[in-house]
């Protein structure tokens, strides 16, 4: 029994340490180009699969990916849209938000956004981007 408890304790401590050691990554996407959007989302998904905690900020035309009715053409070779790749990243734990300027300047309202996507708060986003252990990647 003591061995089982020791193994469980070690396993829990190890998984907690892994969660604390996850690389934080912010992906800032503002391109209107479907290929650039697709590559940003492919890389976001890949970083997640490699253990990173990914936070996605969508600005300008890229904010359209956050809309419930987001469409677009499927990109080869995997035949998915950038919006579908965003959905996949979120299902795996990525967070996503639209920049604070997106809704008031796009004519959309918060209820047009997919579940789980909210407008970013500039003060919170600024603090996040300044974290010393965070990688920030822009597309």
CB within 8 Å of 79: residues ≥ 6 apart: none
Which pLDDT belongs to residue 7? 40
Could you read off the pLDDT of 92-130 as tens digits, one per residue? 999 999 999 999 999 999 999 999 999 999 999 999 999
Could you read off the pLDDT of 54-65 as tens digits, one per residue? 999 999 999 999
State the pLDDT confidence band at 5, using cuts at 50, 70 and 90.
very low
Spans of all domains in the chain: 23-138
CATH number of the domain located at residue range(s) 23-138 in this protein: 3.40.1260.10
| CA dihedral angle for residue 136, residue 128, residue 60, residue 119, rounded to 10 degrees | 150
What is the mean pLDDT of the segment spanning 66-85? 97
Write out 81-132 in H/E/C secondary structure: CHHHHHHHHHHCCCEEEECCCHHHHHCCCHHHECCCEEECCHHHHHHHHCCC
Which pLDDT belongs to residue 20? 57
CB within 8 Å of 93: residues ≥ 6 apart: 48, 53, 54
| Structure token pair of residue 47 | 């970083």
């Amino acid at each position: 029994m003591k061995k089982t408890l020791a193994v469980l304790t070690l396993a829990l401590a190890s998984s907690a340490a892994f969660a604390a050691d996850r690389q934080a990554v912010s992906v800032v996407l503002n391109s209107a180009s479907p290929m650039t959007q697709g590559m940003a989302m492919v890389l976001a998904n890949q970083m997640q699969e490699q253990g990173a905690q990914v936070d996605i900020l969508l600005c300008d035309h890229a904010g359209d990916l956050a809309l419930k009715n987001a469409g677009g053409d499927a990109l080869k070779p995997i035949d998915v849209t950038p919006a579908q790749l965003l959905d996949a990243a979120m299902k795996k734990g990525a967070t996503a938000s639209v920049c604070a300027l997106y809704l008031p300047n796009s004519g959309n309202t918060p209820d047009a956004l997919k579940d789980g996507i909210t407008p970013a708060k500039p003060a919170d986003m600024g603090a996040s981007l300044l974290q010393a252990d965070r990688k920030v990647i822009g597309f």
